[in-house]
Amino acid sequence: MESGIPKNGNFAHLPDRLRGLEDLAENLWWSWNPQARMLFKMLDRQAWKESGHNPDLMLRQLPADTLISAAADPNYMRHYNLVMYHFNRYINEPWPWTAHEKTEAKSPIAYFSAEFGLHHSLPFFAGGLGFLAGDHLKECSDLGVPIVGIGFMYPAGYLRQIINRDGWQDNHTQQLDREAASINRVIDEKGDQVRVTVPFINHRPVEAAIWKVSVGRISLLLMDTDIEQNDPAFRSISHQLYAGNQEKRLLQEIVLGIGGSRVLQAMGTRCGMLHLNEGHAAFALLEKIRELVEQGDDFASARQKVRQMSLFTTHTPVAAGHDVFPFELIEKYFKTYRPELDLGKEEFMDLGRHPDKPDQGFNMTVLALRLSGKSNAVSRKHGEVTRSMWQSLWPEKTEKQVPIDHVTNGVHLASWIEPKIRLLYNKYFGEGWYNAHDNPAIWEFIEEIPDRELWQTHYWLKLKLIDYIRHKSRNRWSSGDADPSQVAGMGTMLDPSVLTLGFARRFTTYKRPDLIFSDLGRLKKMLHHPWRPIQIIFAGKSHPDDAKGHELIHRIFEFARSSELGGRVAFVENYNEQLSQYMVHGVDVWLNNPVPPMEASGTSGMKAALNGVPHLSIPDGWWLEGFTGKNGWSFGSAAEKQDRNKEDAEQLYGLLENDIIPKYYQADEDGVPHQWVGIMKETIKSCAPLFSARRMIKEYITKFYTESR
């Protein structure tokens, strides 16, 4: 079966000498290789920007003349040849991991996830879970771990956030142009797009068309139900991430787990292992059992086989993060499916029944924990919390014995290190540092970077961030539908010389975005200080159904636009991967203040740390493992407490007033705040190797991927 067929020959105008650009545009490898991005940017800076850094779209739109003159430009061709050499070598060289391990490329790991965050031009993510999945695939590609991603092609993405005149989040969508993105139809011999059939009870079966995203050496296969073969009601199943009612959600999960398994079959991929990223795809475990029963196993032995080949990763201690469906709804869709498993109704329902809440419904996390041989949480603390949370599934075991391990999350370095910072590391760390970046010894060389150089690079990134925010606000102003206080609240008055805190995450109660406003008088003193002021940049969306989250956004936006806070607080619209990049590169301090123990891991602080932005955080999630006493700040107690806001805020203010602000503004005679740069360096060297996706994937390999095969 062929895939990656060019879309209707839209690249016909590419001169032969530049044919490779098409392959490059269709493989996300370009997104984490600065030289490849540069190759597109060199063609036409403005077009690159206007395409939203989407090479597929840009190449389609560029006039043939531009391409012909690039092909005739020796400078361009020099860069082109070098990038193509690296790209082809990366794609074609033997997979480094398989070369020396017993994993076989022929039986890859199937990695199921409801979201994948890869690049802002592919809106298949809502937040942290998606980026974790995207970084997982990218790092598996770099390490050569055979894995195949399974998910959804959501043509309407998640949500586009607009803050309206009244300061509330409006939920809009933005339709993806499937023909102009780094995504391709999977085509059969006849030239038709490959489809799979998902059986639905009491209905006509639903079909899903298969798309493919090339993530370096890895394929991500995505399902799309919005095709004419389906009834209108079912076309919308894959329309949007986490949208619709409970029934729609169940249909999505059936398509993800059961349809996803059939995608693998349709592609002729025999997987050696199933890895479920969160419980949404837990039906994949049932489908695997069903396949084995069909081949002659009884349920018990099929279940045992599936145990041996499955890993489940759970991501949140928040109750709403675990789907529970009414038993009647499950029965409606599984009535004719469960006999194929050789199960009666009660036996089937018991698989998803929570022992402490037997009547609550069918719990997807319970199902996943029961059927997977291995399970893990995403930080050390989250491991403890998770074992306690699900202990009743193992009544004969103590909490410590509950078989849920942990692998602390990490981020894909090449995707999150800003290119100018990466150049600095290239210059001082020596040849081949990137390939050894999970080795802490490499990072000791951070000391060799002159303070001035690191500081100036950081300052330049802060300028870029503020420039980007002002550009966004200017566009908003020019559109004519914003009033002055609105654009004032969006960051038009930000000042690059001022100590800048960044807070960007999903807006939901437990993350407490408004904590720093607890004592407005005290905060104002800091914001308005005549020679040592601070400013704060906020960004984040709230789930459309989260009314409290909407209120938090409103509250902060009202602060941001109020003249009383003097333009020193900004709320930037529509937090996505691009804004996230600018923010984690450009702010001075990354603020994080969830209510413990709700933050399973968190990853944005890791992204900031790689770029020398220290973390100012509650001791929760990854920070309990990351904080050394020298690489940032920790405030508040890790213990669970009621009514803690006041106390946490006091500690936050104290740190800012007595430690962070004075250190930041204490520049030496040469204009460089050496002590501050010292903290930046500690941040980089203590966090980059440990919280890299490379360390994470190697841990998945040794703990789970190798042993299970």
**From the list 603, 611, 617, 692, which residue makes contact with ligand PLP (rule: CB under 6 A)?**
603
> Among the candidate windows 7-15, 448-456, 602-610, 626-634, which touches ligand PLP by CB under 6 A?
602-610
Our CA angle for 106, 109, 112, nearest 5°, is: 135
Reduced to 3 states (helix: H, G, I; strand: E, B; else coil), residue 376 is strand
CB atoms within 10 A of CB 498: 18
Distances, alpha carbon 678 to alpha carbons 147, 239, 443, 469, 646, in Å: 40, 48, 14, 28, 31
**Distance in Å, CB of 144 to ligand PLP, minimum:** 25
Within 13 A of 667's CA, how many CA atoms are on the CB side? 13
**Distance in Å, CB of 241 to ligand PLP, minimum:** 13
**From the list 224, 577, 620, 648, which residue makes contact with ligand PLP (rule: CB under 6 A)?**
577
**Distance in Å, CB of 94 to ligand PLP, minimum:** 32
**Distance in Å, CB of 439 to ligand PLP, minimum:** 24
**Distance in Å, CB of 516 to ligand PLP, minimum:** 17
Interface size with ligand PLP, residues (CB under 6 A): 13
Annotate 70-82 with b (16+ C-beta within 10 A) or e (fewer): bbeeeebeebbee
Distances, alpha carbon 471 to alpha carbons 84, 174, 465, in Å: 33, 20, 10
**Distance in Å, CB of 194 to ligand PLP, minimum:** 31
CB nearer to ligand PLP: give 622 or 705: 622
Based on the shown chain and the rule CB under 6 A, indicate whether residue 492 belongs to the binding site for ligand PLP: no
Alpha helices in 335-402 (DSSP H): 345-350, 364-371, 380-389
Based on the shown chain and the rule CB under 6 A, indicate whether residue 410 belongs to the binding site for ligand PLP: no
CB nearer to ligand PLP: give 488 or 579: 579
> Among the candidate windows 56-64, 201-209, 324-332, 597-605, which touches ligand PLP by CB under 6 A?
597-605
Reduced to 3 states (helix: H, G, I; strand: E, B; else coil), residue 705 is helix
Tokens encoding 403: 């078989």
Tokens encoding 637: 């107690």
Tell which positions 145-184 bind ligand PLP, by CB under 6 A. none
Q: Which residues pair with 274 in a beta bridge?
A: 110, 310
Tell which positions 100-139 bind ligand PLP, by CB under 6 A. 127-128, 131
Residue 646 class from Cβ within 10 Å (0-12 exposed, 13-18 middle, 19+ buried)?
exposed
Based on the shown chain and the rule CB under 6 A, indicate whether residue 575 belongs to the binding site for ligand PLP: yes
Based on the shown chain and the rule CB under 6 A, indicate whether residue 505 belongs to the binding site for ligand PLP: yes
Based on the shown chain and the rule CB under 6 A, indicate whether residue 576 belongs to the binding site for ligand PLP: yes
Annotate 456-472 with b (16+ C-beta within 10 A) or e (fewer): ebbebbbebbbebbbeb
**Distance in Å, CB of 664 to ligand PLP, minimum:** 23
Cα separation, 390 vs 219, whole angstroms: 33
Based on the shown chain and the rule CB under 6 A, indicate whether residue 580 belongs to the binding site for ligand PLP: yes
Tokens encoding 549: 């989250």
CB nearer to ligand PLP: give 482 or 572: 572
Tell which positions 298-357 bind ligand PLP, by CB under 6 A. none
CB nearer to ligand PLP: give 416 or 559: 416
**Distance in Å, CB of 688 to ligand PLP, minimum:** 15
Binding site for ligand PLP (CB under 6 A): 127-128, 131, 505, 575-577, 580, 602-605, 607
